[in-house]
Amino acid sequence: MDYILIFNNTHNALLAEKVLNERKIYMVILPTPSYISNSCGISIGINGNHLNEINELILKEKIKIKGIYDNKNKGIINKF
């Protein structure tokens, strides 16, 4: 996974999973690595080719996320 969506709580993680599944966007539910965040134990791994579409969906669907972690560059790229 190129990026990891980080959430403040499980409710928002599950909402994001539902929205991404409805749009048939490939993603993987995974435990949040402790070196990224200790707020919510569930994260969503995504491929980079869907990043722009996912950013738009987050805003449109009003999904509250803590940020997007870039696995390649090892840092948060978007904070919401």
Residue 28, SS3? strand
Number of domains the chain contains: 1
pLDDT exceeds cutoff 60 at 80:
no
pLDDT at 23: 94
Is the Cβ–Cβ distance between 19 and 59 less than 8 Å? no
pLDDT in tens, 12-69: 999 999 999 999 999 999 999 888 877 788 999 999 898 999 999 999 999 999 999 9
Residues 13-33 as b/e (b if ≥16 CB within 10 A, e otherwise) read bebbbebbeeeebebeeeebe
In 3D space, the residue among 74, 75, 77 whose CA is nearest the CA of residue 58 turns out to be 77
pLDDT band per the 50, 70, 90 thresholds, residue 79: low
pLDDT exceeds cutoff 70 at 1:
yes
Domain membership of residue 51 as a residue range: 3-79
Q: What is the CATH number of the domain that holds 31?
A: 3.30.70
Q: Which residue has the higher pLDDT, 74 or 18?
A: 18
Residue 78, SS3? strand
